[in-house]
Amino acid sequence: MPNQPNHSPDNTEYSPYSTSRRALGRSTDWLPFGVWDVVCYGLLVLVLVAGAWLRFSNQNWDDFSHNHPDERFLTQVVEGMNNHPFLTRTEATAAERAEKAALCAERYPAQTEVSEDRMVTTRPAGFGDYFDADCSHLNPNNLGHGLYVYGEFPLFTTYFMTQRFNDASREIGTFLEAFNSEEAEDYTVKTHYTTYSGVQLVGRSVSATADLLTILVLFLLGRRLYGRWTGLLAAGLYAFAAFPIQQAHFWTVDAFATFWVTLALFMAVRALDSVHAIQGMSSVPYLATWAAAMVWNT
């Protein structure tokens, strides 16, 4: 009979690398994660930090000149949602506009309150709630922008964040007055984020945030399909790609659409992974999340 190879432990070929690897494994057996996990996710953090810096730096690149036409239009819409004192109808005829205005004024009378011995209007007549599309000031068609064709999610997210930016600036000023009077004297409360000169800055920040989240979702998608190193490579390539960085500096819907499409792909993969006889129902949360996101973004 031919000689058979001896696989006994006594005949194992010595390798310094394999020995050190086994020693490293023994030294980290007590950890809930491996060394390569730390390396991979540490690199992911670096990719996210670098991607954030590339997307959030120099956001006032046009020095308030509003060079991007789509961005300029979206800025006008959000400014109107924040500061429009009355609704501007976009119906075809004057009779239709007058009829709609009278209907909204009847539904929603002006709301007032007494402040410092004087009457202050808190909500003008005719301003309805969100779900009343005919009278809501959150409907671009009621603000003179009948050609608005973008989704609601970017619009409402930026509208909400413009108010939060103003609130945060006031809170910082109040905090400095209470704890550091010298700094408070040099600090200027900024409330321009709801105006034409500040909405685009907030929108660019939100757009950059959406694109940063795309990097993370892209890593999760690649990890799910091909492994964590492929996911890390995909995230790194996207983080340093020129076109996404450019789009993240615009207050437009491109970065939002990219995020939702990437998230939809990830949810689809997760749903397909769970479709079998035993765990078929586990795909329902992913499908429900995807469906809700698509409805909200349209």
Each residue's pLDDT tens digit, 218-229 = 999 999 999 999
Q: Report how far residue 232's alpha carbon sits from residue 252's, in angstroms, rounded to the nearest whole number.
A: 27
Min mean pLDDT across 34-43, 177-186, 285-294 is at 285-294
Structure tokens at 169: 């600036």
**What local confidence, expressed as pLDDT, does residue 187 receive?**
87
Q: Which amino acid type is present at position 124?
A: P
Q: Which DSSP state fits 136?
A: B
How far lies 183's CA from each of 167, 172, 173, 180, 193, in Å? 19, 11, 9, 6, 22
Higher-confidence residue: 247 or 144? Answer: 247
Q: Report how far residue 120's alpha carbon sits from residue 241's, in angstroms, rounded to the nearest whole number.
A: 51
- Whether the per-residue pLDDT at 239 is higher than 90: the answer is yes
Contacts of 293 (CB under 8 A, 6+ apart): 260, 263, 264
What does the mean pLDDT of the chain come to?
83
The pTM score is 0.77
Q: Report how far residue 135's alpha carbon sits from residue 219's, in angstroms, rounded to the nearest whole number.
A: 43
- Asked if 158 contacts 75 with a C-beta cutoff of 8 angstroms, the reply is no
How far lies 223's CA from each of 40, 46, 52, 233, 264, in Å? 11, 17, 21, 10, 15
Min mean pLDDT across 62-71, 108-117, 156-165, 277-286 is at 277-286
- Asked if 196 contacts 75 with a C-beta cutoff of 8 angstroms, the reply is yes
What are the structural domain ranges in the chain? 34-84+148-298, 86-142
Q: DSSP for 45-107? A: HHHHHHHHHHHHTT--TTTT----HHHHHHHHHHHHHHH-SS-B---SSHHHHHHHHHHHHHH
Percentage of the chain lying above the pLDDT 90 cut: 45
- CA atoms within a 13 Å half-sphere pointing along the CA-CB vector of 64: 6
**What local confidence, expressed as pLDDT, does residue 183 receive?**
85
Q: Report how far residue 250's alpha carbon sits from residue 255's, in angstroms, rounded to the nearest whole number.
A: 9
Taking Cα atoms as reference points, which of 43, 58, 61, 54 lies closest to residue 239? 54
Min mean pLDDT across 92-96, 204-208, 230-234 is at 92-96
Q: Report how far residue 135's alpha carbon sits from residue 206's, in angstroms, rounded to the nearest whole number.
A: 27
**What local confidence, expressed as pLDDT, does residue 37 receive?**
85
